[in-house]
Amino acid sequence: MVRINRVYTGTGDDGTSAFVDGSRHRKSHVRFSAVGTCDELNTVVGVIRRECSDLPQHIDGGSSSSIGRIQKIAEAALDRIQNELFDLGAELACQPSKLPEYMQLISKQQCDSLTDEMDAWVEQIEPLTSFILPAGNGPEPVIHHARTVTRRLERALVAIEDEEGENSVRSEARVYVNRLSDWFFVFARWVTKNLGDRETLWTPLGKRQDAGSVAAMIRKFHENEQEFDDLA
């Protein structure tokens, strides 16, 4: 049983912190960078859970049953993801060869669960015909934020391998993180579908609105305000 009576210890005041094996290292160590990014991602997932639970029971385009479906799936899946990220963060705070024998680690089972869920979502959404932007009227932008933080975590794992060499990160951990980023992407698309919204498609540069037209719009609004003030 975990029992924490005091959060502060003062042992990190010198700029060092402990690995799982008890050894102390500078907080700038690549492993602490990975652990911190994993913790950050877990926090973003917590925000997604709140955003999903706060969805109104009925919004334009999305029925109450669809929203209820989002909330139930999100709560079940994201609760598991948060626990898995906590497990992963603990694992990354030490070289695999020095992990305690009692520690349960991310395995192929967790990777396969992500794949199965993506496959189930893909069955219900249309194939992509264009790149999409990280936008939406519900929790989708935060889900995309989680996707990008996951990619940063993946880069942190590769940085550990670059510095510490082969077998410094278990392949299952690396595969899990790679799958998880894809998982967030498909999850965001599925949420958009169930909210009855349209995805925001990327528009090539040659077809985009000229920035000058926005400036003209701003000036027009200002002129209208001045005209209204003159009438008053």
Q: Of 3-7, 35-39, 57-61, 94-98, which gets the smallest average pLDDT? A: 3-7
Do residues 169 and 31 make contact, with C-beta atoms less than 8 angstroms apart?
no
Do residues 75 and 187 make contact, with C-beta atoms less than 8 angstroms apart?
no
Instruction: List, for residues 45-103, the tens digit of each pLDDT value.
Output: 999 999 999 998 765 555 678 999 999 999 999 999 999 999 999 999 989 999 888 88
The SS3 assignment for 16 reads strand
Do residues 146 and 61 make contact, with C-beta atoms less than 8 angstroms apart?
no
Mean pLDDT throughout 153-167?
96
Give the Cα separation of 89 and 159 in Å (integer): 15
Give the Cα separation of 54 and 67 in Å (integer): 10
Q: Of 93-107, 136-150, 175-189, which gets the smallest average pLDDT? A: 93-107
pLDDT at 232 over 60: no
Mean pLDDT throughout 145-155?
98
Q: Of 5-14, 49-58, 113-122, 140-149, which gets the smallest average pLDDT? A: 5-14
Instruction: List, for residues 106-133, the tens digit of each pLDDT value.
Output: 999 999 999 999 999 999 999 998 999 9
User: Which residue, among 127, 151, 162, 138, has the nearest Cα to 40 in the 3D structure?
Assistant: 151
Identify the helix (H) or strand (E) that includes residue 17: strand 16-18
The CA radius of gyration of the chain, in Å to the nearest whole number, is 23
Give the Cα separation of 156 and 34 in Å (integer): 5
User: Which residue, among 76, 75, 90, 84, has the nearest Cα to 31 in the 3D structure?
Assistant: 90
CB atoms within 10 A of CB 145: 19
All domains in the chain, ordered by first residue: 16-204 (1.20.1200.10)
